[in-house]
Structure 1
């Protein structure tokens, strides 16, 4: 039997790859005949490795397999399929097995490439967010329109190969009409993922380009924070996170159970992917203070900044923009503007520690922009923000007037490197672009000549540059 969805090429390094597929319940599932994924990996005509993975019904028959010991910057061909085995016939899923193990009559194949060696000097990737598909809408064909952006990204990859694809939130809408219409149970949620990821263009893209994802609010509910759990039954949040883990987080880098933030490296370029939703507390209680990241994640992020302080460029993924800020009428309290104490801590740490070349990647706001932040008291301080949203949104988009294009932020912070004096410290950002249309952003980095050369280009849903922002943003 053939796989029902995938493969998705997930977290990939110069020596390893993580591959995701979905199977299906077999006819003898009730008598303990279970579903397994079968994988054969080839370099050219030579079989390199074979492996099985267990496709658990708890995860809607999704699962991942990892191959290690691969060659850097090398093209591999993958064949995958399904097998059904009873308890007494359970295949070894922990180690490589003698192959081939895929039934050639029902195999699904693809090709991918491992990342280049760790001393490589270039990086190219596409990122974006917010892919609204309302499957119960009989007026608009959301499916066809929502998949066009990914055809353009795939074409971009064919013309100028991408190292990876990064989706930074709202990959599906579990609440397409907010509380008026929400998908309520695990089967309904998984069906939305299956329909969304089965569309031709996004499926083609994810089957050959390493794909990384992180959730935002609509994988759960609009403007989600832990405070909302008081108003729901205990299974509401757990059900949504099980669907998210099954279809998105499984192919990300491994994390401890229940942790959804993660980090990875592409050559010399490190990435920290924040979870800005599941640990968020938007209203302080007598027990817990207001927070976007939670204590453990914030501390891990600051430690990550310290460890990678000398990396040529450091990328931080925050599903909601670190800056620029929306105006209050557009929900600024849901963004980092509503968590200024925590934002101040991060800015203070970066400035006092003298860490440079940090780039924030964000989505969420249905408007794409670029911005730079500087500090009046420290001329060496510089942060960059790239915001890309939405992949598809059939309703009116946000416009430039909905944001503070330039804004000064003032905080009481340490004013010297020895942390003895505190004073008012002023940060100011200036933004540009503010494109209110379907879009995606391509980021390119080259450190071959020493100082990083970085650019970001924004494309519309058809893969064309916008006439009112035709040139790359250099940072």
Structure 2
């Protein structure tokens, strides 16, 4: 029997790959005949490995197979299908089995290439955010319009193969009309995931390019923070939202402990830390633990990651909401890092005092795309880069350049020396460029083949064309 969604190529290294699929409830499910995913992995015509995974109804019959002991920089093909088995005949899951295990001619296929390894000198990827899907009827077809952006990314991949695709928030809108209309139950929410991910162009992208995702507010509710969980009903609402998110997005990310949604990974020598800026945030300064965007554990893990990866040629930090530039307060600035200046100050201080270079923030959320650099008046070696790409598709008016502080000076009391013996006022200044309010995605390229990283970012419209207002690449 064919799978009902996927496959999605998830977290991939030079020796392993995660493959995600969705099955379906079988006709004998109530009599304990359960659904299993079946996978055959090929290198050319050679069968390399076979595996089963259990597709739990709790996760809407989604699941992953993890293949390891693969060869670096090697093209593979995976064939996927479904089998239904009673407990007594259940196959072993998550381990290699004798194959092939796919006999159905209606199998689904994906192709991918493993990473090139730690000695690689190049990295090419695309990222973006905010893919709205609601008005899908005779008068307004968001499905067709929103999928055009992904067709352009697929075409880019064919010309210039991508190492990964990053979707950095609002992959679905669980509250398409904000408080006027929200998906109220798990099945309805999963249906919008299925509608979004089965569209032909995004499906083609995700079955050929390793895909990484992180949520933002609309996977839960607009401007979400833990403060909104005031009752048992709110807690159940949140748990349902996160179960859908885990099923369709987090499951194919790198493994994390149960309930943790931030993660890190590497592509060759290049390091990535993907922040969860939603599920741990507390807006109420009087709450236990105080106001926070990341929470204590994640913030400390981020500092440790920065320290451990200080020698990486480029360190990419994914923050669904922009670290900078800042939207103005009447445009939701308090929901971004501008509303959490104490925590932002800690991060800036750590990067500056520790002398960590080549840190690049990747963000979305604000329905406007921009480039920005931040420097420090008291430390000429300090430099941060911010790349913001949003939205993939949004049918309403977009944000304009006047909605942002294009340039801004931030002042904090911080340590002024590496020995941490004195504190004083430290001033940071960022200046932004671009501020394109239109459907877009961003392509990033890095080359360290000549020593110092040579990095560029380009913003493309939904048709894959440069914007006349910012047609050239941004170098950082």
The TM-score bracket by the shorter chain reads over 0.9
Q: What CA distance in whole angstroms lies between the structure 1 residues aligned with 2:299 and 2:216?
A: 17
Q: What CA distance in whole angstroms lies between the structure 2 residues aligned with 1:110 and 1:448?
A: 31
* Structure 1 counterpart of 2:80: 80
Q: What CA distance in whole angstroms lies between the structure 2 residues aligned with 1:172 and 1:434?
A: 23
* Structure 2 counterpart of 1:372: 373
Runs of 4+ aligned residues of structure 1 deviating over 2 Å after TM superposition are 135-139, 231-234
* Structure 2 counterpart of 1:259: 260
Q: What CA distance in whole angstroms lies between the structure 2 residues aligned with 1:398 and 1:50?
A: 48
Bigger mean CA offset, 231-240 vs 442-451: 231-240
Q: CA offset at residue 105 of structure 1?
A: 1.7
1:62 aligned onto 2:62? yes
What is the correspondence of 1:81-160 to structure 2 with a 5 Å cutoff?
81-135=81-135, 139-160=139-160
Unaligned 5+ segments in structure 2 are none
* Structure 1 counterpart of 2:325: 324
Q: How many residues align?
A: 475
Q: What CA distance in whole angstroms lies between the structure 2 residues aligned with 1:135 and 1:405?
A: 33
Q: What CA distance in whole angstroms lies between the structure 1 residues aligned with 2:456 and 2:153?
A: 17
Unaligned 5+ segments in structure 1 are none
Q: CA offset at residue 286 of structure 1?
A: 4.4
Q: CA offset at residue 287 of structure 1?
A: 1.8
Q: What CA distance in whole angstroms lies between the structure 2 residues aligned with 1:289 and 1:139?
A: 47
Q: What CA distance in whole angstroms lies between the structure 1 residues aligned with 2:174 and 2:113?
A: 33
Q: Describe the superposition over 1:247-278 as per-residue Cα deviations: whole angstroms up to 9, x where unpaired.
A: 00000000000000000000000000000000
What is the correspondence of 1:24-423 to structure 2 with a 5 Å cutoff?
24-135=24-135, 139-230=139-230, 232-423=233-424
TM-score normalised to the size of structure 2? 0.99
Bigger mean CA offset, 55-64 vs 100-109: 100-109
Q: CA offset at residue 103 of structure 1?
A: 1.6
SS in 2 for 1:105: coil
- Report the RMSD for the aligned CA atoms in angstroms: 0.8
SS in 1 for 2:78: strand
Q: What CA distance in whole angstroms lies between the structure 1 residues aligned with 2:275 and 2:341?
A: 17
Q: What CA distance in whole angstroms lies between the structure 1 residues aligned with 2:47 and 2:332?
A: 53
SS in 2 for 1:369: strand
TM-score normalised to the size of structure 1? 0.99
Q: CA offset at residue 136 of structure 1?
A: 5.9
SS in 1 for 2:326: coil
Q: What CA distance in whole angstroms lies between the structure 2 residues aligned with 1:394 and 1:337?
A: 27
